[in-house]
Amino acid sequence: MSADPRSDKAVTTWSASSAPANASTALSRNVYGPAPVDTHADKFQLDIVRLFRMVMKHRLIIGGIVCACLVIGIIATLTATPLYMSDVTIETSSDTVNVMSDKSLDAQQPTNDQAEIATYVELISSRSLAERVVDDLKLADDPSFVAPVNRSLVARAKALIFGSPAEQPRSLESRKKTAIATVIRNTSAKVVKLSRLLTITYSDSDPRRAQRIADALASGFIKANLDRRFDATTYARLFLEDQLQQVKLKLEDSERKVVAYADREKLVTLDDQKTILSQKLADLNTALGKASVDRANAEQLWLQVKDVKDYSDIPNTSSGSQAPSIIDQLRASRSQLVADYESKQLTFKPGFPVMVALKARIDDTDQQIAEEVDKIKNTIRSTYELAVQREQALASDLDATRAELIDTRNRSVEYTMLQREADTNRTLYDGLLQRYKEISVIGGSSANGLSIVDTASLPGSPYSPRFALNLMLALIAGIGLGLGAALGMEYFDNTIKTPDQMEALLGIPVLGVIPMLPADQSVQSVLADPHSALSEAYRSARTALQFSTDRGVPRNFVVTSARPSEGKTTTVMTLARMFGQIGVKILVIDADLRNPSLHKVAGIENSFGLSNYLSGGAEPEAIIRESGVENVSLMTSGPIPPNPAELLSSPKMLTLLTEFRDTFDLIIVDSAPVMGLADALLLSSVADGTLIVCSAGDTPVETVKAATKRLAMTNSQMLGGILTKFNAQKAGYGYAYYGYDYYGYGKDNLPSLPAA
């Protein structure tokens, strides 16, 4: 065996490949502690078994809540005021008489049947209808309706304790408000499925009054619908009257502006004037075009005959008169004379009188021809000049007409605007006047579309309260409240209660579950019976410790807890007793140097012990005591030192555990709690294993998790945990398999294990 305890610890550290999965082994290899677990998620991931256990655990609370709800339901049912219900059926027909051909004026053209019927349902519950019913039936003057007798338990209890308050006179307005609110509260309407039928229902403590109010609601609703339609028509008529007056004033003003502007601008018949000018302009434009053509032709002809001397050079187109025939005659006469002259020239000499006469006649004819040619040329020139003058005159007239037309159009722009405004106002006025006359006619012509199908009948029996239904609702409410209370208690109870929860939250195996003892029994007396549940539980824990590692139980281990008073010292002494019974030589060391209790459990004095050895005042053999139990020796804490952590951190503690390996088979160290102190961490770092003790239903989950995490940081091997003060009944149904009922600790005992 190696002298170094760390060598044994190295041997006991399993690898994942050579040993089965073990929570303590995995934890010893994780210096940051066990994997975090969401406790809230774990609480609400309930399966059927856990839910059944929770119900059985809190069955008294659930049963009490259910009984209370049933009692309240019965009392409330028996003391409730009986209510009678009466209903009326109304048909909302869409078939109406269409008097006007204009569909826009027909008030009965629903765009959506369902929306219309839904609107009717809301209108039935309106304040205006309730006020109409209250006024029609004079409900404000009915004392039994305005101030009914309150039969509730609360009201009766107040009247019994404080007396009935004196009735104060109320004003009519106050009574009316109360009556209206009562009618609205007790009125309901619903649509008969797949139809246009409405059912109006009213409930009241008086069956005859329920019938009267139901009928009044139906008739009042129909009258109100007619009134709304008449009011809508009246409003439209008044609106159109106001609009007609406004449009009429605008029309008169616009027409006055048109007349005034026409007078000012001298525009009598503007459209005719514009038409005449336009036609004149078109005619002038046509005439100017023709004059331009004539002038061009005359100019061309003049240029051709301007320098002509002989008649033969004048174009034939110029002969517009008898001149060409005269010239032709003259030329024919000349030709005759020339022929005579030439024939006689053969006989006579030129100086002969006959010849001279012929010559003179020829010259005279030539002179006449020349004069006629000049006349033709002058005529052509005159024609050309007249054509030029006509063209110029037409162009000037065209410019003047165009200017006049443009001026007329410019002056007519504002006139046209004023005229258009007047026409628009006249059209609008005519349309409004026509619509006003049509609405006046249609105002009372349309049918209502609402009719009563079934009147209200006198109810024979009350519909409320219903005893069976109220009991069922009370039972459901009680079960729901009871389960909610149980879930709430489970949720807010943030303590470790069961072994399964301890293993799931801490990630360590539970080596033992120690039952809670009755208050009238002591641990020693129960342990004296080897067949008691307590003895069997610690014997089971001893057996589990023997299989906690691959080498069996470690040679030494520390027993600690998260907080004080969790049964740690009792567990240490009982485990030592159990190991001693099987022949294992045990040394129990009380290393709680702050609040030692081992000497109290063993019944010996504590004048010397571990603190003396650690401070150098004694040898280890000198401070070992006999416990009175076979094979079990004790080392008490000794006087409480001022510096426990410094003493426990000295090398002497490791030396002590090492030296006694050969003397004792097993060393169990009782340590101080983990939280807030370093003692347990120092001891865990030098021991071969660590065992943590938790008190069922007392230790918070967060505290135990924090303690386990701190212990894991010391690299000590976590052997597991022991759950003390376990009550199977409080833990819930299903934990009887631990065997407590068999030994008499599972039913009627409400024990408490003394904690050290």
Reported as a single tens digit per residue, the pLDDT across 704-722 is: 888 888 888 888 788 889 9
Q: State pLDDT tens for residues 394-404.
A: 888 878 877 77
- For residue 150, the model assigns a pLDDT of 58
Q: State pLDDT tens for residues 276-328.
A: 767 777 887 888 788 888 888 887 878 777 766 555 555 554 444 445 577 77
Q: What is the CATH number of the domain that holds 582?
A: 3.40.50.300
Reply yes or no on whether the pLDDT at 103 is more than 60. no
- For residue 68, the model assigns a pLDDT of 93
**Considering Cα of 92, then 97, then 101, then 107, what sign does the dihedral take?**
negative
Alpha helices in 306-352 (DSSP H): 323-345
Count of domains observed in the chain:
1
| Residue 653 belongs to a domain | yes
Task: Determine which of 16-20, 336-340, 517-521 has the lowest per-residue pLDDT on average.
Answer: 16-20
| Token pair in block for residue 219 | 């008739």
Reply yes or no on whether the pLDDT at 3 is more than 50. no
Q: Is the separation of the CB atoms in 202 and 186 below 8 Å?
A: yes
- For residue 216, the model assigns a pLDDT of 93
Q: Which helix (H) or strand (E) holds 515?
A: strand 510-515
Q: 0.75 exceeded by the pTM?
A: no
- For residue 39, the model assigns a pLDDT of 46
Extract the runs of DSSP E, i.e. beta strands, from 84-124: 84-92
- For residue 367, the model assigns a pLDDT of 82
Please indicate whether residue 658 or residue 530 has the higher confidence score (pLDDT): 658
| Residue 686 belongs to a domain | yes
- For residue 266, the model assigns a pLDDT of 64
Please indicate whether residue 624 or residue 736 has the higher confidence score (pLDDT): 624
- For residue 353, the model assigns a pLDDT of 83
Burial of 603-628, coded b for 16+ CB within 10 Å and e otherwise, reads ebebebbbbbbbbeebebeebbbebe
CB burial class (10 A; 0-12, 13-18, 19+) of residue 295? buried
Task: Determine which of 269-283, 534-548, 598-612, 716-730 has the lowest per-residue pLDDT on average.
Answer: 269-283
- For residue 153, the model assigns a pLDDT of 56
Residues belonging to the chain: 756
Reply yes or no on whether the pLDDT at 41 is more than 50. no
Reply yes or no on whether the pLDDT at 471 is more than 80. yes
| Token pair in block for residue 315 | 């174009």
Residue 261, Cβ neighbours under 10 Å: how many? 17
The mean pLDDT of 679-692, rounded to a whole number, is 90
| Residue 167 belongs to a domain | no
Q: Which helix (H) or strand (E) holds 636?
A: none
| Residue 516 belongs to a domain | yes
Please tell me the distance from the alpha carbon of residue 362 to that of residue 400, in angstroms, as a whole number. 57
What are phi and psi for residue 549, nearest 5 degrees?
A: -130, 175
Reply yes or no on whether the pLDDT at 40 is more than 50. no
| Residue 702 belongs to a domain | yes
Q: In what order do the strands lie in the sheet with 666-670?
A: 510-515, 718-726, 690-695, 556-561, 666-670, 586-590, 632-635, 625-626
- For residue 100, the model assigns a pLDDT of 46
Reply yes or no on whether the pLDDT at 550 is more than 70. yes
Q: State pLDDT tens for residues 402-440.
A: 777 677 667 666 777 777 888 888 888 888 888 777 776
Q: Is the separation of the CB atoms in 37 and 43 below 8 Å?
A: no
Please indicate whether residue 609 or residue 367 has the higher confidence score (pLDDT): 609
- For residue 744, the model assigns a pLDDT of 45
Please indicate whether residue 103 or residue 451 has the higher confidence score (pLDDT): 451
| Residue 487 belongs to a domain | no
Please tell me the distance from the alpha carbon of residue 657 to that of residue 659, in angstroms, as a whole number. 6
The band of 108, judged by pLDDT with boundaries at 50, 70 and 90, is: very low
The mean pLDDT of 199-210, rounded to a whole number, is 91
Please tell me the distance from the alpha carbon of residue 443 to that of residue 261, in angstroms, as a whole number. 43
| Most confidently modeled range among 108-122, 271-285, 342-356, 545-559 | 545-559
The mean pLDDT of 346-355, rounded to a whole number, is 80
Reply yes or no on whether the pLDDT at 733 is more than 90. no
The mean pLDDT of 492-507, rounded to a whole number, is 82
Q: In what order do the strands lie in the sheet with 187-191?
A: 187-191, 197-204, 84-92, 450-454
- For residue 340, the model assigns a pLDDT of 81
Nearest one of 27, 37, 13, 26 to 712, comparing CA atoms: 27
| Residue 270 belongs to a domain | no
- Domain holding 558, by residue range, is 497-743
Q: Is the separation of the CB atoms in 128 and 475 below 8 Å?
A: no
| Residue 727 belongs to a domain | yes
Reply yes or no on whether the pLDDT at 159 is more than 90. no
